[in-house]
A and B are shown apart, each in its own frame.
Chain A
């Protein structure tokens, strides 16, 4: 069972993603911000991270850089309410991005593809 870490400062998003992804058979853990995130990843060894771009205290794109530098092949899917982040070239270090929605079809598809690419599916 692949383990997914959902990082988002909005509680209802963490709950929504957790419930829906658990229903898909994933083991889901959550974090509400970037504080101690690298240590958390080291400790819990998730197979994939779903990362909110705009959190109150953290810039998701900076966190993405940190994750990519330390965990070279860990799949990261950016989750965002707006797609203006694509203007920042840092975003190309993500495996995929999805626009936040209550319909998680796209997120599930991208999770499946990213896990397949990393051989963790």
Chain B
């Protein structure tokens, strides 16, 4: 998928690579490039490093903005062909290049990060050189931020594969290059992974391969271009959740024998006081409307994939006024497990199935927003942890239904 490369300093080897995936990020890329270069110089000065911008043939001058950003660290620009877009394709080009450069570690940070500091590079990179194979980020986030991760991806991944990775689709992470070979040759690569499915794909593969995983606390809250958006724009939601469900089918041999979950190592504390994340406004009315309108569109589909008692419970939830709205986590866990089974059995086409999950997710989110309204970030985190336990306790429901498909 690599169509174009510009390597002005003719870099042929690099121990450490920082990758910045982009698509029309000319306005944003200078800051993360500068901080990456500073981090590489300050904390990995003894290593040969390179910063790689893996781009989707941006037409807004991303390449020029990247290459013109002053840096003592050499830079390489890569691009997919004009007709190929997707974060996953960018990362695939990055992985190929990292292998070619015989790198030991690859750090990936979002190119639209406004809050990145050189410490992020240190904290994501150091665990790899300490023996970990994959480093996931830990941020202080607003309780309403990362809703898809909080309500779907984290609880499901944790309950299925038994490993607690709090930000499995955080966007900023690091991996050892021996894992890069796995990524490059794994048969589960598909177009969804080539798009926004790539983050959960990389995290899940790391878990499945039994790679030592570390969660690294990067310090500052994540502030980026799309802050505040609860539901990823379509088709990102389908790409992320669809990839997760594709892997559920593929990795049954692991999750079928996993019971409960285990934590991961933590890195990067002792950084002093951490600033609070930016406030996020959520419209409860819009979430409520999104949930209720889902019945008009998806009622029939829900009836066909959910057990009667769960579907009936949805009807009861629908009747609740906004002021008393509540979507029990036990029901949510069973709905998601039912979707895993329906996705596998293809009782309905997979794309409409994924789309039909959005209103239910909005309803669950509304419930979360209401329940955590007066909670601190820490209390909301505890609430999420309790919800995850509900998913783990409900896992036999999935095992029973899965066997019958």
Query: Would you call A117 and B266 a contact (CB within 8 A)?
Result: no
Partner of A69, one of B162, B258, B259, B265: B265
What does DSSP make chain B's interface, helix, strand, loop or mixed?
loop
* Known A72-B212, A92-B164; contact A118-B262, beta-carbon cutoff 8 A: yes
Is B264 in the interface zone, CB < 8 Å from A?
yes
Contacts of A94 in B (CB 8 A): 263
* Known A86-B378, A89-B138; contact A95-B266, beta-carbon cutoff 8 A: no
Contacts of B378 in A (CB 8 A): 86-87
* Known A72-B212, A86-B382, A87-B378; contact A92-B262, beta-carbon cutoff 8 A: no
* Known A72-B212, A117-B162; contact A65-B266, beta-carbon cutoff 8 A: yes
Q: Give bound CA distance, A89 to B270, whole Å.
A: 11
Is B217 in the interface zone, CB < 8 Å from A?
yes
Q: Give bound CA distance, A116 to B130, whole Å.
A: 29
Number of residues on chain A facing chain B (CB within 8 A): 19
Q: Give bound CA distance, A114 to B217, whole Å.
A: 24
Contacts of B261 in A (CB 8 A): 117
Binary contact readout B207-244 vs A (1 if CB under 8 angstroms, 0 otherwise): 00000100101000000000000000000000000000
Contacts of A87 in B (CB 8 A): 378
Contacts of A114 in B (CB 8 A): 260
Is A14 in the interface zone, CB < 8 Å from B?
no
Interface centre among B130, B164, B259, B263 (most CB of A within 10 A): B263
Q: Give bound CA distance, A65 to B263, whole Å.
A: 12
Is A113 in the interface zone, CB < 8 Å from B?
yes
Contacts of B258 in A (CB 8 A): 117
**Chain B stretch 256-281: residues in CB contact (< 8 A) with chain A:** 258-266, 269
Is B143 in the interface zone, CB < 8 Å from A?
no
Partner of B269, one of A72, A73, A90, A117: A90
Query: Would you call A117 and B264 a contact (CB within 8 A)?
Result: no
* Known A72-B212, A117-B162; contact A89-B266, beta-carbon cutoff 8 A: yes
Is B166 in the interface zone, CB < 8 Å from A?
yes
Query: Would you call B263 and A93 a contact (CB within 8 A)?
Result: yes
Residue of A nearest to B257 (CB): A119
Is A68 in the interface zone, CB < 8 Å from B?
yes
Partner of B262, one of A75, A89, A90: A75
CB distance from B81 to the nearest CB of A (A): 41
Query: Would you call B265 and A68 a contact (CB within 8 A)?
Result: yes
Residue of A nearest to B264 (CB): A93
Contacts of A68 in B (CB 8 A): 263-266
**Chain A stretch 73-121: residues in CB contact (< 8 A) with chain B:** 73, 75, 86-87, 89-90, 92-95, 113-114, 116-118
Q: Give bound CA distance, A75 to B162, whole Å.
A: 13
Contacts of A95 in B (CB 8 A): 262-263
CB distance from A87 to the nearest CB of B (A): 6
Query: Would you call A90 and B266 a contact (CB within 8 A)?
Result: yes
Residue of A nearest to B382 (CB): A86
Q: Give bound CA distance, A116 to B378, whole Å.
A: 28
Q: Give bound CA distance, A113 to B260, whole Å.
A: 7
Contacts of A117 in B (CB 8 A): 162, 258-262
CB distance from B83 to the nearest CB of A (A): 43
Contacts of A89 in B (CB 8 A): 138, 217, 266, 269
Q: Give bound CA distance, A65 to B130, whole Å.
A: 14
CB distance from B82 to the nearest CB of A (A): 43
Q: Give bound CA distance, A90 to B264, whole Å.
A: 11
CB distance from B400 to the nearest CB of A (A): 18
Contacts of A72 in B (CB 8 A): 212, 265
Residue of B nearest to A93 (CB): B266
Q: Give bound CA distance, A114 to B212, whole Å.
A: 18
Contacts of B217 in A (CB 8 A): 89
Query: Would you call B166 and A92 a contact (CB within 8 A)?
Result: yes
Q: Give bound CA distance, A117 to B212, whole Å.
A: 16
CB distance from A106 to the nearest CB of B (A): 13
**Chain B stretch 159-213: residues in CB contact (< 8 A) with chain A:** 162, 164, 166, 212
Give residues in A with beta carbon < 8 Å to B. 65, 68-69, 72-73, 75, 86-87, 89-90, 92-95, 113-114, 116-118
12 example contacts (A-B, Cβ-Cβ < 8 A) are as follows: A68-B265, A72-B265, A73-B262, A86-B378, A87-B378, A90-B269, A92-B166, A92-B215, A92-B263, A92-B266, A117-B260, A117-B261
Q: With contacts A95-B262, A113-B260 known, what are 6 further pairs, Cβ within 8 A? A: A68-B263, A89-B138, A89-B266, A90-B269, A92-B266, A117-B262
